[in-house]
Structure 1
């Protein structure tokens, strides 16, 4: 079961996503929490750096944005044979100082780093993604049925605008062609509206701002697993019901209105956030995780803690590791950690037990909309995985480094 809690307070809107009663994601929108990913800007190239094969672009934010050469040329796709024959050009062949560009933010600014941007604009809808600058046709990898993939691919070819690309999203599985066409038509109208605004937009400056939190929720999170939505504002509840009815979603009948200013209190959301800002995470069995984030990667250590098991050491270790695998997937989503992740599970001698733990981790990560890739065990018995970096971490949104220890966690005697 999936439930979404929406809490409106003053000018702030916050959303919490629960799966099987566990908090897995928190989103908010106001002030410093404003969502930047997806925004489109007119920018000006400030510096071209051949040694980094990248450029810094002024888009009007506090820090210049970072544009890597691969994001400044037409994109490569793993299943497109044409892309395998095209080596990347050098950045100085693509960009020149003072050159004006239309770019889109793909990663939020973080700490001392500016936003990461791309010239490959994408306009996402509920069922489709419009790519105005490439003619690629793709289908979400999460749709595994080959017959359905072929059906959707053919539909995409038929409805795609000439010279533009379309990606069919996971939510489109089982959706009829008319709905896909209507969805894409709205995106095309939005793109033409953006083009019309270009001559009147300043350089650097914002051209198009991505949709607000409520609209993103309807676009990204409302899937077949959502069974309930709980909100504390009448107008929000009415708007959700009307939109969900138009989409034919059964959750339209399960929008619950609770007149309470701090709705998150009933669901212990803020308490879960406080726990997720600590390095130690206790498991229900009595074992625990220690999660440490560094500049380059995130390291997770698994320990049996208070759990002593019942039958054998092997069973105790397997039970702790499987429970840890599920919790690790939840913590990565909740904390929004990305990049390289190294997990030190408790040593297992049985290959069958190792496979079971990896399978548990893969299954738990499959629930994550952000792309995760599990590489397997290293020679040292560590599990390597990656998770795409999207947006700011929970710690960056709700905290700041200690001015005394500068994030070390220790002070000198």
Structure 2
């Protein structure tokens, strides 16, 4: 089935959202019932991390947060922080002082004044129209970023989005003081994130959509470490320390087999990491090939990850010939979530 389609459904009691592109699962969100990225807390500074310039904070529910680059903070001081990613097992939740209030069309940025427009919007006339609409709608108390989805949106819709986010920002900032930690927002769930961050001409909301649209079949394939690339195979094995990725040529023994498999793996890797919720350190063992072909492979990797929304640093080759990446932990790993939902798949 050609085109893009968003499917909203539930797996058991958990909300879930799938983005299908040309009949293939391109992105997947399942509520992991933990602390969501984007949630905002009033934290209480607890203990500085000497030598790392960080501060541990007490958060609501007995949770701990860790703020990097903290300076001038004292134990017992209240601080508004926002969750930036998923905590590794046994570690504190990563947080930031830079609050962002995101909606589908706009982002309100307290402490960062000015109006900015997504670089994805190219037309000068459209950019000028959006700036005027934002200037007329904002109260000027905070900064604004108009997202790419604002392109061609009606002025009334933009104004409503701005008013909603500015009201939320004002309410949260008013709760900055207090002697006890408190959860102020819970962050967006899968259905809200799909509405906010994905675009598609059709949204399927009727119950049972995952079955009818083939989403469950695609999810079941994620339980296997192996991915058939057509030009070889990809194996993805998460460990406690890192994610190990192996590329092999399968039964192809032609001279070009390694390069073909490696290029196919480079194209597939962002989507596979995204669907599996994997981040942190990633080590890729590409199929053996001449060093002269590395530049072509690196170009393919850069192009593939440039189109991916999750921040990823392409670190480079190790002396043993592995390729290293560092990927932001924006999502919970999918494997334990799927294991707990197996009866619904």
TM-score by length of 1: 0.70
Query: 1:243-291: CA deviations, max 9, x gaps?
Result: xxxxxxxxxxxxxxxxx4xx43445544544443443333234x21222
Say yes or no: does 1:25 pair with 2:3: no
Relative to structure 1, is the Cα distance of residues 227 and 39 closer, same or farther in structure 2, using a 3 angstrom cutoff? Answer: same
Q: Secondary structure, in 3 states, of the residue corresponding to 1:16?
A: strand
Match of 1:276 in 2: 222
1:176, 1:265 → 2: CA distance?
35
The answer to which structure, 1 or 2, has the higher relative contact order (CA under 8 A, 6+ apart) is 2
Structure 1 spans left out of the alignment, 5+ residues = 73-90, 234-259, 401-413
Match of 2:267 in 1: 326
**How many residues are matched?**
337
Match of 2:343 in 1: none
- 1:373-412 aligned at under 5 Å gives the runs 373-375=313-315, 382-399=322-339
1:323, 1:386 → 2: CA distance?
20
Tell me the CA shift for residue 188 of structure 1: 0.7
Relative to structure 1, is the Cα distance of residues 297 and 172 closer, same or farther in structure 2, using a 3 angstrom cutoff? Answer: farther
Match of 1:180 in 2: 158
Relative to structure 1, is the Cα distance of residues 173 and 386 closer, same or farther in structure 2, using a 3 angstrom cutoff? Answer: farther
Q: Secondary structure, in 3 states, of the residue corresponding to 1:107?
A: coil
Query: 1:298-355: CA deviations, max 9, x gaps?
Result: 33221001234xxx412x233222222222122111112223433332244385x544
Q: Secondary structure, in 3 states, of the residue corresponding to 1:104?
A: strand
Query: 1:175-212: CA deviations, max 9, x gaps?
Result: 4655434322221122223345567x882121223344
Relative to structure 1, is the Cα distance of residues 186 and 163 closer, same or farther in structure 2, using a 3 angstrom cutoff? Answer: closer
Q: Which moved more, 1:14-23 or 1:290-299?
A: 290-299
- 1:87-236 aligned at under 5 Å gives the runs 91=71, 94-135=72-113, 137-141=115-119, 143=120, 145=122, 147=124, 151=128, 154-155=131-132, 158=135, 161-162=139-140, 164-175=142-153, 179-196=157-174, 203-221=180-198, 223=199, 226-233=200-207
Say yes or no: does 1:264 pair with 2:197: no
1:294, 1:8 → 2: CA distance?
28
1:355, 1:155 → 2: CA distance?
45
Q: Which moved more, 1:41-50 or 1:275-284?
A: 275-284
1:158, 1:58 → 2: CA distance?
38
Q: Which moved more, 1:115-124 or 1:190-199?
A: 190-199
Structure 2 spans left out of the alignment, 5+ residues = 341-345
Tell me the CA shift for residue 174 of structure 1: 4.5
Q: Which moved more, 1:334-343 or 1:152-161?
A: 152-161
Q: Secondary structure, in 3 states, of the residue corresponding to 2:161?
A: helix
Match of 1:88 in 2: none
Match of 2:255 in 1: 313
1:144, 1:345 → 2: CA distance?
37
Tell me the CA shift for residue 98 of structure 1: 1.1
2:284, 2:125 → 1: CA distance?
36
Q: Secondary structure, in 3 states, of the residue corresponding to 1:46?
A: strand
Relative to structure 1, is the Cα distance of residues 271 and 110 closer, same or farther in structure 2, using a 3 angstrom cutoff? Answer: farther
| RMSD of equivalent CA atoms | 3.3
Match of 1:357 in 2: 297
1:376, 1:145 → 2: CA distance?
32
2:300, 2:92 → 1: CA distance?
36
Relative to structure 1, is the Cα distance of residues 211 and 295 closer, same or farther in structure 2, using a 3 angstrom cutoff? Answer: closer
Contact 1:343 1:384 in 2 (8 A): yes
